């Protein structure tokens, strides 16, 4: 499945056990000798009554991530369209807390048990952002001006006219000493300011995966950073390599809400070695 081009392999662990998900993520994510993906997502039951289901996510390098906004939207679509729930509000347990998914159906007038309806998009309550202010110095460059935003996982957002430096600079910043747990890096450029919504072009270097087509938490971090630095209001449209996400940082509860698509690519079988 993919959300705005951010593609993961999804396994329903209520049906199939993956004994070594870190190794599986590494092997299956290889584009030529595996399936090819940004990583592996495990869908499971929730061990706590406050959530309906759980997710674990492993990057292509085998490291476990705290959260992925694009993956959570895909999980919502999977659970509903595979008949694992009839609810359009789903509480999903992640390593960064319980996220609430609101499913938007293509036709809510005619869903049945046999044909529940198609999930067109999903809004995820990403909860409140948190902040730090690391000082970054790069070899041969002056201080890199950026904004640190945590959306349950760490992001460093740099507003620049050269977002295509994502490969060169993102690789360096992910492993910078200022980020002992490594970091996701966003390069963003404001395209336009509308009456209610600011459009921002963003490219992402994702921790553990490199350049990805999109990053849901990265889109949220970009929108928050834009608002904090006076570049935008509380509603942003984030245009990434693989698609567009709508982000709202609500003043009423300080939560960040992300809305975007989710899509099936294919189903298949693979041997666990």
Residues with a catalytic annotation lie at 68, 215
The DSSP secondary-structure symbol of 154 reads E
Which residues are CB-neighbours of 45 under 8 A, at least 6 positions away? Answer: 14, 53, 54
Q: Kindly report the backbone phi and psi dihedral angles of residue 163, in degrees, each rounded to the nearest multiple of 5, phi listed first.
A: -75, -15
| CA separation for the pair 69, 41 (Å, rounded) | 12
Which residues are CB-neighbours of 19 under 8 A, at least 6 positions away? Answer: 272
| CA separation for the pair 135, 118 (Å, rounded) | 46
Strand-strand pairing, 210-212 and 198-206: antiparallel
The gap between the terminal CA atoms of the chain, to the nearest Å, is 23
Q: Are 143 and 136 in contact (CB under 8 A)?
A: yes
Strand-strand pairing, 53-59 and 89-94: parallel
The DSSP secondary-structure symbol of 176 reads -
Chain centroid to Cα 150, Å, comes to 12
Q: Reduced to 3 DSSP states, what percent helix, strand and coil does the chain have, rounded to the nearest 5?
A: 15, 40, 45
């Amino acid at each position: 499945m993919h959300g705005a081009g951010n593609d993961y392999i999804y396994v329903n662990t209520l049906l199939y056990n993956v004994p070594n998900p870190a190794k599986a993520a590494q092997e299956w994510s290889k584009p030529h000798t595996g399936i090819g993906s940004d990583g592996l997502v495990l869908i499971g039951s929730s061990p706590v009554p406050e959530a309906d289901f759980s997710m674990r996510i492993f990057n292509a390098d085998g490291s476990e991530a705290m959260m992925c906004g694009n993956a959570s939207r895909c999980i919502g679509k999977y659970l509903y369209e595979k008949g694992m729930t009839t609810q359009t509000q789903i509480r999903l347990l992640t390593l960064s807390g319980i996220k609430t998914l609101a499913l938007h159906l293509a036709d809510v007038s005619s869903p049945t048990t046999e044909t529940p309806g198609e999930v067109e998009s999903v809004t995820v309550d990403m909860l409140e952002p948190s902040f730090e202010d690391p000082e970054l110095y790069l070899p041969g460059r002056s201080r890199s001006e950026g904004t640190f935003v945590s959306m349950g996982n760490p992001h460093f957002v740099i507003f620049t006219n050269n977002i295509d430096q994502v490969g060169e600079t993102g690789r360096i910043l992910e492993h910078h000493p200022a980020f002992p747990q490594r970091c996701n890096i966003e390069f963003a450029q404001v395209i336009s300011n509308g009456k209610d919504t600011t459009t921002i072009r963003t490219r992402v270097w994702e921790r553990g995966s490199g350049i990805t087509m999109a990053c849901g938490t990265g889109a949220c971090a970009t929108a928050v950073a834009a608002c904090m630095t006076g570049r935008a209001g509380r509603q942003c449209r984030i245009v990434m390599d693989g698609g567009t996400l709508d982000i709202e940082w609500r003043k009423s509860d300080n939560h960040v809400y992300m809305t975007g698509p989710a899509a099936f690519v294919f189903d298949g079988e693979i041997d666990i070695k």
